[in-house]
Chain A
C-alpha cells in the first residue's frame, strides 16, 4: 500500500452533500462529530469546501434538479477520493421510488464505494460503514 493511500485512510476529510433528503441523515452525520462519537479520533474532519474533501457523503434521493449538481461536485473533487451513499433514499430512492422526480438512484449517477442503509442510519452504522470502506481500500490499493 502506498504511503499517500495510507495517509488518505488515516485522515479522510468528508464533504457532505444533501441531494434533497429530509435532513435526518444529515443530522445523523453531524452526530458522528459530537463528543459522544468523536470521529476526529480517526482524523476525520468536516470539510467546508469540496476541493479539500476526500470522502463525498451523499444523502437523499437524487432528484432531477440535483443530478447535474451531483456530477459537477464529483468532478470538482480532487481525485484519489471515495463516495459513500448514506440512507435508504440515496441507496434505492426509498419511498420515492415511484416518484416522477427521482429517475435514478445515486449509484447510477456517480460510482459509489460504500452503501450505508437505514432511515436514517445510526451514527454507529455510519462509523461501521466507514470502517468497512477502510478495510476494502486497504485490501485493494489500486481501486482508484
Chain B
C-alpha cells in the first residue's frame, strides 16, 4: 500500500510538477541567454493542457498499436524510476539489493520508446531520427555504466542506492574525490545525450529532420512524450544527485541544500545546451567511445585505488 502511495504521489505528481517547473527554468534560462524575456511560469503546463485537447492523428501506414503504446511505455518507466529514487532518498534503509541495476535498465526504456514510436510512425524522417537515437544509445551507455561503477566501488561494492546515500552521509559526497569528479563529468555528458539536448540533440534535430521520431505525433501522445521528457529533466539530475552529491534529505536544512543542488544541475545542463553547436552522429559516437570512456575508466581505476 505504501508503495502505491509513493508511486502516485512522489512518482507521478511530484515528479511531474518539478519536471514542468524544470522545463520552465530551462526555457527561461535559454531566453535570458539569448537576451529575450521568456515564457511565463505556467507555460509548460498550458502546452500540455492544449495538447491534450487536440485531435490525435495516426498516419496512414503506421502501426497503430505500437504508435500509440510507445509513449505510455516511456512514461511508465520514468514514473517507476522516480518512485524508486524517491523511496531511496526518503527511506535509505528499506530498499532492495540491485535497485541501481533496475534504475539503469528502466532509464533505457524512454529512449527505446522514442525509437519504437519513430519507427512505427511510417515517416522517413522519423526513421532517420530513430536510427540516430539507437546509435546514440549504443554510444553513451558504455561510459554511463562505467561512471556509475565509481559510486558503487566507493560505497563498498554495494548495489543499493540507499547504501550509497548513507555512505555519502557518513564520509562526505563522492563528487569531492578525484574519481568522483571525473565520473561526474562523464555522467553529465551522458545525461545531456540521454535528454537529447543540444550538443547531442542529433536524433531530433529541429532544423534538420524537423523533430525526428516525434514528427508524426499530435495531440495526446505528443503530450505524453512532452511530459515524459519534462519528467526526465527531473529524474536524471536527481539520479546524479543521489550517486554523486549525497541525494535529497528532508531533515533539517538539508532540503534547501537539495533544491539548490538540483537547480544548479539544471542550470548547468541548460548552459551547456546553449553554448554548444550540434555535433554529427559519428562525432558523438567517437566522443563517447573515445575520450569519455577513457576518462570513465581512469575514474574507475582511481576509485579502485581508493582516491
Contacts and interface: CB of A to CB of B under 8 A. Distances in A.
Interface of A: 2-5, 7-8, 10-11, 35, 38, 40-41, 43, 48-49, 51-52, 54, 76, 78-80
Nearest to B216: A51
A53 B57 CA distance: 13
B55 A80 contact: yes
Interface string B209-237: 01100111111001000000000000000
Given A38-B37, A41-B39, A4 B49 contact: yes
Nearest to A33: B36
Contact of B55 (A43, A48, A79): A79
Given A11-B43, A43-B46, A4 B211 contact: no
A38 B35 CA distance: 9
Of listed B31, B50, B53, B206, residue having the most chain A CB within 10 A: B50
Contacts of B31: 38, 40
B54 interface: yes
Interface string B40-58: 1001001101101111110
Interface of B: 27, 31, 34-40, 43, 46-47, 49-50, 52-57, 206-207, 210-211, 214-219, 222
Contact of B47 (A3, A35, A43, A79): A43
Contacts of B47: 7, 11, 43
A7 B210 contact: no
Contact of B222 (A8, A35, A41, A51): A51
26 contacts: A3-B53, A7-B47, A7-B50, A8-B53, A10-B43, A10-B50, A11-B46, A11-B50, A38-B31, A40-B37, A41-B37, A43-B39, A43-B40, A43-B46, A43-B47, A48-B206, A48-B211, A48-B215, A49-B211, A51-B57, A51-B217, A52-B211, A54-B54, A76-B57, A78-B55, A80-B53
Given A40-B38, A48-B210, A51-B216, A7 B53 contact: yes
Contact of A35 (B35, B55, B56): B35
A35 B36 CA distance: 5
B43 A43 contact: yes
A3 B39 CA distance: 19
B32 to A, nearest CB: 10
A41 B36 CA distance: 9
A40 B36 CA distance: 9
Closest 3 CB pairs of A and B: A4-B53, A48-B210, A7-B50
A41 B34 CA distance: 13
Nearest to B48: A7
A36 to B, nearest CB: 9
A78 B206 contact: no
A4 to B, nearest CB: 3
A52 B43 contact: no
A10 B55 CA distance: 18
Contacts of A8: 50, 53
A5 B50 CA distance: 7
Given A10-B46, A40-B31, A48-B211, 19 more contacts: A4-B49, A4-B53, A4-B54, A7-B46, A7-B50, A8-B50, A10-B43, A35-B34, A38-B36, A38-B38, A40-B37, A48-B206, A48-B215, A51-B216, A52-B214, A78-B56, A78-B219, A79-B55, A80-B53
